[in-house]
């Protein structure tokens, strides 16, 4: 304290300040709707966990209600005004609708997000024949062969064709 007192123009007063902060969890999303996935496939989405408080946010566990939804991290410490990212993967093994939740256990408020995904039966390609063995003897000769591509699965089959010559086939 500065004063006009000529004997004590400055007096120092000891002071102790204790700041008790708390973390504040906020999320980038409260629900994930996944694209349709073929059985045996997977789709990832990133969940961002923000700490908008003034103490460390301690995520002690992240659990899923369904085994088709998994997370890459289950424990995080997020400093004040920082964030962490968790990848939530949808990996269905059979066709169907999957509605579940992921719960984030932490030192603020345990928080749950909803998860919705659809799995369709996988496409299955069948070729007839499954290979060709063609011998062309004359340089300007040609041949036509038929390749039949069938989808014996229960989902749309997308494909693209290319010509690849085996070693020694004479293509440059």
- Give per-residue pLDDT as tens, 67-124: 999 999 999 999 999 999 999 999 999 999 999 999 999 999 999 999 999 999 877 8
pTM of the model: 0.69
Which region holds residue 168: left if phi is over 0, alpha if psi is between -120 and 50, else beta? left
- Give per-residue pLDDT as tens, 8-66: 888 888 888 776 789 999 999 999 999 889 888 999 999 999 999 999 999 999 999 99
Q: What is the CA radius of gyration of the chain?
A: 31
């Amino acid at each position: 304290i500065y004063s006009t007192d000529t004997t004590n123009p400055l007096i120092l007063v000891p002071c102790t300040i204790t700041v008790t902060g708390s973390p504040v969890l906020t999320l980038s999303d409260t629900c994930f709707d996944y694209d349709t996935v073929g059985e045996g496939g997977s789709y990832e989405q990133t969940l961002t966990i923000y700490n908008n408080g003034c103490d460390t946010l301690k995520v002690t566990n992240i659990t899923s209600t369904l085994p088709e939804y998994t997370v890459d991290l289950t424990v995080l410490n997020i400093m004040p005004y920082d964030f962490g990212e968790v990848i939530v993967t949808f990996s269905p093994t059979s066709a169907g609708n999957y509605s579940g939740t992921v719960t984030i256990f932490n030192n603020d408020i345990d928080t749950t997000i909803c998860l919705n995904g659809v799995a369709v039966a996988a496409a299955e390609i069948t070729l007839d024949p499954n290979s060709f063995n063609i011998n062309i003897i004359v340089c300007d000769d040609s041949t036509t062969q038929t390749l039949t591509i069938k989808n014996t699965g229960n989902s749309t089959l997308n494909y693209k064709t290319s010509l690849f010559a085996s070693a020694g086939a004479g293509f440059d």
